[in-house]
A and B are shown apart, each in its own frame.
Chain A
Amino acid sequence: MTAYLRAAANVLVHVPDLVRYGSKPWREAVRKEHAPGDSFNDLRSFDEIVGYPPNQAFIGNLPPEKLSGIPTPWYENSLAGASPESQFGEILPQDAFYALLEAADQFGLIMFDEERRLPGVMGSESAAALLEGQKNSKDYKQEDIIERIERGEALPLFQEGGLIGCVRRDHDADESLDARILLENLAAKASGAYALSRLLVGEGIAPEQVDYVISCSEEAVGDRYNRGGGNLAKAIAEMAGCANAAGVDVKSFCAAPVYALVHAAALIQAGVVENAVVVGGGSMAKLGMKAYFHLAKGMPVLEDVLGGVAFFLTKNSDDGPRVNLKIAGRHASGKPSTPQGLAEALVRDPLARAGRKISSVDKYAVELHNPEIMLPAGAGDVAAANYRMLAALAVMGGEIAREEIPDFIEAHGMPGFAPTQGHIPAGVPFLGHALERMRAGSLASTMILAKGSLFLGRMSQQADGASVLIEV
Chain B
Amino acid sequence: MDLENQAAIKSIADEVGSENLMVVLGMPGEGLRLAVETLTTGDPSWAGPLAGVSLGLPVFHILEEKVRAQVPEDLYADKLLMMEMVLDLEQIESDLASMRAAG
- A interface list, Cβ under 8 A from B: 292, 338-340, 343, 375-380, 385, 388-389, 391-393, 395-396, 402, 405
Contact = CB atoms under 8 A, between A and B. Distances in A.
Interface string B1-39: 000000000000000000000000001111111110000
29 contacts: A339-B86, A340-B82, A340-B83, A375-B30, A376-B30, A377-B30, A378-B27, A378-B29, A378-B30, A378-B31, A378-B33, A378-B35, A379-B30, A379-B31, A380-B27, A380-B29, A380-B30, A385-B86, A388-B85, A388-B87, A389-B86, A391-B85, A392-B82, A392-B86, A393-B82, A396-B81, A396-B82, A402-B85, A405-B85
B63 to A, nearest CB: 13
A377 B27 CA distance: 13
B45 interface: yes
A50 to B, nearest CB: 29
B79 interface: yes
B65 to A, nearest CB: 18
Nearest to A393: B82
Interface in B57-103: 79, 81-83, 85-87
Contact of A395 (B28, B31, B79, B85): B85
Shortest beta-carbon contacts, A-B, top 10: A378-B30, A378-B31, A392-B85, A388-B86, A378-B34, A392-B82, A340-B82, A389-B86, A392-B86, A380-B29
Interface residues of B, number: 17
Interface of B: 27-35, 45, 79, 81-83, 85-87
A74 to B, nearest CB: 18
- Which secondary structure characterizes the binding site on chain B? helix
Contacts of A389: 82, 86
A340 B79 contact: yes
Interface centre among B32, B79, B81, B86 (most CB of A within 10 A): B86
Given A389-B86, A391-B85, A405-B85, A380 B79 contact: no
B60 to A, nearest CB: 18
B86 to A, nearest CB: 4
Contacts of A392: 82-83, 85-86
Nearest to B30: A378
Contacts of A340: 79, 82-83
Nearest to A376: B30
B36 to A, nearest CB: 11
A388 B29 CA distance: 15
Nearest to B28: A380
A25 to B, nearest CB: 13
A292 B45 contact: yes
Given A391-B85, A402-B85, 11 more contacts: A339-B86, A340-B82, A377-B30, A378-B27, A378-B29, A378-B34, A379-B30, A379-B31, A380-B30, A392-B82, A396-B82
Nearest to B1: A378
Contacts of A405: 85
Contacts of A379: 30-31
Contacts of A385: 86
A404 to B, nearest CB: 11
Contacts of B81: 396
Contacts of B83: 339-340, 392
Interface centre among B29, B34, B79, B85 (most CB of A within 10 A): B85
A130 B53 CA distance: 53
Nearest to B29: A380
A292 B33 CA distance: 17
Contacts of B82: 340, 343, 389, 392-393, 396
A380 B28 CA distance: 8
A380 B86 contact: no
Contacts of A338: 79
